[in-house]
Amino acid sequence: MIFSFLGLIVCIAVLFPQVRQMIMNLFEQIYHRKASSREIWLKVLLSYAMGGICFILCFDYCTLTDPGRKIIQKVKQELSDCLSEIDFRSFIKPILLMFGVYLLGIFTIIRANYSYLDDLGRSISGYRKWHNESRYVSEFSSILVHGDTHLTDISPLPQLSAIFILSLSSVLLVYIIGNKKMTVVRLLASVPLGLSPYFLECLSFNFDAPYMALSILASIVPFLFIARRKAFLFSTIVSLLIMCMTYQAASGIYLLVVVILCFQDWNSRKKSNKEILSFLGIAAFAFCVAMLLFKFFFMKSFDEHESGYVSNKMHSFPQIIIGVLNNIKNYTATLNHDLGIIWKICIIFVLLFFILQSMYRSAQKKINSFFVSTFIIGFSFIFSYGIYSLLKIPSFRPRALFGFGFFLACFCIYVAKNNNKPAVVSVIALNWCFFIFAFSYGNALSDQKRFVEFRIGLLLHDLSDLYPNMNDDDLSIQIKNSIDYVPSIKNIAKHYPIVESLVPKLLGEDFWDYFYLIHFNIIQYKMINNPVISSFDFCSLNLPVVLDSYYHTIRSDGSRVLIILKH
């Protein structure tokens, strides 16, 4: 009680501008430097103070008052009742089956041992920094996974952890959508959840993979408590906060499952319209509460200039409809560009079978079932992009679009559960295509890795000849252009264009490419002058050519070096 009272006083004090100003001045005195974004930090202090007040009042109500204690007791009892009704032993074999499928699917990715984007920086510097993107669960979970606050490369353990989490997610999704009935066909139908081309990028990360997979699991878990309102409401808010603090690209998964379950209940008339609307209202309310809690108390605001490619700022209210429509249009165009023609045909068949089966087995009028099932596909597709559709500058990187793989998994499970042979064939055909592409992608990573190491080896050999004491000399280096893809990747891209978005070139103008210089212990990071983040471009100096080869040209005046890569 005393600690709550003191905490409340502190949080209320922070609400006064003079107190926040005093805290910032104290911070600057301790660290002997000015805060880079003073206004942002003041807003953060204010949000934490408001959050602290809300938390203390809520905690005191639940622990010090009789109504509060009854609510807590009721939630605990409902959670316990829901868990006791689940036969977790029946999950063991399905989880092992899916673990084997996913393990085989990413075998070539693990074998490639490709340092994917951030992986190189983390393995060299050991930093975490997920908190910069409000991924606090990832931040603290990484300490447990790596056994230290300083990260080291422990692959493939994180990827094995990721596919175990994906296996559990697949089983739970089949359990929930399939009315607690799990068969081999239904389990295999869930493969797009983890082996869609978009989630393959997540599995390529040696450090991030398990936390990205955890965001999917956290979005599914609340539906284990769907039979009891208070347990469902509580588990939804907690689980969605975990999802937001691991990987926000999964933000649409929860809504997608809600839509599918509501449609199943409506189409079969297992529940009345009133019951369905009641569930939909609770689910929407819990989702909004979780998103608002995350936005106001946990999310760090940043724009594209800070992140380099994306902003988490939403469209203003007058522009939100136009903005969302534009984002969905770009989302659709990206998918259309990425997916191969065979994939598109299989996807169309799966969705057609969804509509036909919904009509055939419907307890509603056939025409109503046709229109509603069609609308369900549309709404589910929009939800698959999650809250990214609301942002001014969302990400269209493959890893940000894995909600589409989940979208496909839900409809594949729905179609496969009725054991209609043509429908099952279309589902298996689509999943087989994704499974085979995973092998091609892993081999493509391996091929590109060999080419990158060959090119960087030639480049560093030439630099060492020109500058034998490179680490001692005060050199500034800039790189112009990028290397090309190897022929095997160009061959894959003819039918599956997404491969060029998935495989990083890892030698060129991009900021992360410079880590390769450190990776080979050639040059100190402080000496690198990156043209991407520097306003001064060495190309404007007309430096003399000191070396010209088939693969690159080196221009230098002795202290400044411009490397022009050739394809």
- The domains of the chain are located at 2-64, 79-419, 443-565
CA of residue 179 relative to chain centroid, distance:
28
- Its pTM stands at 0.89
pLDDT at 28 over 70: no
Helix residue spans in 205-272 (DSSP H):
209-220, 229-244, 253-268
State the pLDDT at residue 465. Answer: 87
Residues 6 or more apart in contact with residue 102 via CB below 8 angstroms: 163, 166, 167, 194, 195
- Supply the DSSP string of 84-142, one letter for each residue: HTS-GGGGHHHHHHHHHHHHHHTHHHHHHT---THHHHHHHH----GGGGT-HHHHHHH
Q: Which two tokens stand for residue 475?
A: 């050199």
- The average pLDDT across 503-526 equals 67
253-266 per-position pLDDT tens digit? 999 999 999 999 99
Q: Which two tokens stand for residue 129?
A: 């920094």
CB 328 within 8 A of CB 382: yes
Cβ-in-10-Å burial (0-12, 13-18, 19+) of 417 comes to buried
Cβ-in-10-Å burial (0-12, 13-18, 19+) of 84 comes to exposed
CB 199 within 8 A of CB 434: no
Neighbours of 34 (CB within 10 A): 9
State the pLDDT at residue 67. Answer: 76
pLDDT at 513 over 70: no
CB 427 within 8 A of CB 187: no
Residue 532 banded pLDDT, cuts 50, 70, 90: very low
| Residue closest to 426 by CA, chosen among 505, 346, 492 | 346
Of 132-146, 371-385, 476-490, 508-522, give the lowest mean pLDDT range: 508-522
* C-alpha triplet 56, 58, 63: angle, nearest 5°: 90
Q: How far apart are CA 372 and CA 355, in angstroms?
A: 9
Q: Which residues pair with 340 in a beta bridge?
A: none
CB 527 within 8 A of CB 476: yes
Residues 6 or more apart in contact with residue 18 via CB below 8 angstroms: none
Question: What whole-number percentage of the chain has pLDDT above 90?
Answer: 51
Q: Which two tokens stand for residue 288?
A: 């909004």
Q: How confident is the prediction for the chain on average, in pLDDT?
A: 85
CB 304 within 8 A of CB 311: yes
183-207 per-position pLDDT tens digit? 999 999 999 999 999 999 999 999 9
Q: Which residues pair with 554 in a beta bridge?
A: 547, 563
pLDDT at 57 over 90: no
223-261 per-position pLDDT tens digit? 999 989 999 999 999 999 999 999 999 999 999 999 999
Strand 560-565 to strand 545-548: parallel, antiparallel, or no bridges (unpaired)? unpaired
Cβ-in-10-Å burial (0-12, 13-18, 19+) of 92 comes to exposed
State the pLDDT at residue 542. Answer: 85
